[in-house]
Chains A and B, each alone.
Chain A
């Protein structure tokens, strides 16, 4: 088990927008702030004299927040950006997402039912949009996160048109 094992299926070719990294960094900063405030309030309000596990938690929780900050801001966005891939071919829509657990999703254009483009608040800040390709199966949804708005809209339009043309029963 020395060489990195080959991926089980073909790797999609295209990367997300580079702005996605900064969006994930922003999410990490927000998460760190939320946890930091919660832990800070806890440390200020609960004195160590309460006993039980409190004296340990008083230093353990801030350390955990610091570790989370390093991972969520400094490591995870870059790994995610390197892992995430997507591709639209003549027959299929194909994505690879994840960080520690990798997930490939593959849907043939003929089985597409609807195509959604969504823009969250943070995404609007960075000019990004997500594309969701839905099928008859609740588990067969392809989500391409964080594309440039123009790309997302073009892809959605193209997929919807082609699905209309080649659609068989779609179930």
Chain B
């Protein structure tokens, strides 16, 4: 980073006895300015302020100026009080954050429950040389947003110190292997670069649904804003002559080009300068144009990864890789290791996370029949409903949709079947499925905490079964859909251990 060094009064050490533990620190006072500008704390009083303002009424520029001044002063006051009452401390055993204006809250996260540390620098923070540190606690212990502890607004150097300190403490919190020197200096180990973003990869963005959604959402928000403007402020544009075909074609092409540019820009903002490095026992990813994010993942907790390819991405052989990390819970964004790039590069990276279990085995022909029949039945059902609707109300849209779906059902079913596959290697296994977004999960053998085998009535008749590997990471389960029922026991045993065949009856406890 090339930002200017932060001013010296970096970290104020709070005298003990203020509720926090010894060595508690405050965030940088500069964060008061950031929060004043963003109204971070003052936002909470907005609902109360609106009726007040409505009662006073807004007439004349004087009142508006006074109002702006009052709101800014209020925001400054809240930000200052919050800064004054918030301290954090990284002790050898835990991270403690104390906050609250009147009702004090002390959050203690033991070091062995910390799953990762993320240092991010939003644009405004960067202006003041500040960063925000997010510390991920183990999921499942507390619900929702409480999974992380945020230390907002420390100088960059202090943020990096905190990250290294928390990570080294956490390593020390684990049992030291026999023969290792526990007093060995916890130095920052050498970095190994695993992946680096190539700006050319941004050209894939217009083919990825999630990036296409960015400009669409912007257009939606803009049009809503326009509609809420008072009528006399709206620009008085006479609409172009829509009856001319050439105008329509030009407009459509322009819209597509704008959409593509928007998608590329959106992808650039999120992924610019992406870099994945391995540093000792952790993986560290940096990305972002405006907000720089710095994510840390522990290699020991990685159980595998997923390789996802959307419909558009398959056309240009692009892919995305996510790591499956135990205890990360819903914070799956953190697990993203390779946001967007060529498939070969993605496969190479996935191979670094987990051994390649070998080529996937296709599922039996009965699975193909089932996929096509299901797609056909769905199309016919929509068509039948559409025909009934057409007969009663004359609306033909649903009928047309049903006919199109029925015609497309064979390629859809075949596409769904082509995605299916499973493989078990000596130390890992893999399953793949998905219609539009094809997702392949590659997991280590030790990741499996259980198996679930499902057979519907029709699967039983066709000799198929769906096998779900239950893992304590990612979505919690990854399925091999419609594999041959006769292969299930061999697959589960090969992918986890001999226990998975579950033979040999025990003694039922007497009632």
Question: Interface of A with B (CB < 8 Å)?
Answer: 1, 4-10, 12-14, 17, 87-92, 94, 100-108, 111, 135-140, 142, 147-148, 150-151, 154-155, 158, 169-171
Contacts and interface: CB of A to CB of B under 8 A. Distances in A.
A139 B489 contact: no
Contacts of A90: 504, 506
Contact of B465 (A8, A12, A91): A8
6 contacts: A5-B461, A101-B455, A108-B449, A108-B500, A139-B477, A148-B511
A44 to B, nearest CB: 28
Contacts of A136: 140, 326-327, 449, 471-472
Given A8-B467, A135-B472, 17 more contacts: A5-B461, A13-B505, A87-B508, A89-B506, A102-B454, A106-B451, A107-B450, A107-B470, A108-B450, A108-B496, A137-B470, A138-B476, A139-B450, A140-B452, A140-B471, A140-B477, A169-B446
Contact of A89 (B470, B488, B502): B502
Given A8-B488, A13-B505, A140-B470, A101 B454 contact: yes
Nearest to A133: B450
B492 interface: yes
B104 interface: no
Given A89-B502, A137-B472, A105 B450 contact: yes
Interface string B475-506: 11100000001101100100011011111111
Interface of B: 140, 301, 303, 326-327, 446, 448-457, 460-463, 465, 467-468, 470-473, 475-477, 485-486, 488-489, 492, 496-497, 499-506, 508-511
A5 B460 contact: yes
A8 B452 CA distance: 11
B456 A139 contact: no
Contacts, number: 148
Chain A, interface SS category:
loop
Contacts of A139: 450, 452, 468, 470, 475-477
A17 B509 CA distance: 12
B451 A105 contact: yes
B499 A91 contact: yes
B32 to A, nearest CB: 41
Contacts of B454: 101-104
Contact of A108 (B453, B461, B499): B499
A169 to B, nearest CB: 8
Given A13-B508, A103-B453, A151-B511, A6 B500 contact: no
B456 A87 contact: no
Which of A107, A135, A137, A154 is packed against the most chain B CB atoms within 10 Å?
A137
Contacts of A8: 453, 455, 465, 467, 485-486, 488-489
Which of A6, A14, A138 is packed against the most chain B CB atoms within 10 Å?
A138
Given A138-B476, A148-B511, A150-B511, A5 B450 contact: no
Contacts of B327: 136, 171
Contact of B449 (A10, A94, A137): A137
B489 A10 contact: yes
A5 B364 CA distance: 15
A164 to B, nearest CB: 16
A88 B507 CA distance: 8
B488 A10 contact: no
Contacts of A89: 502, 504-506
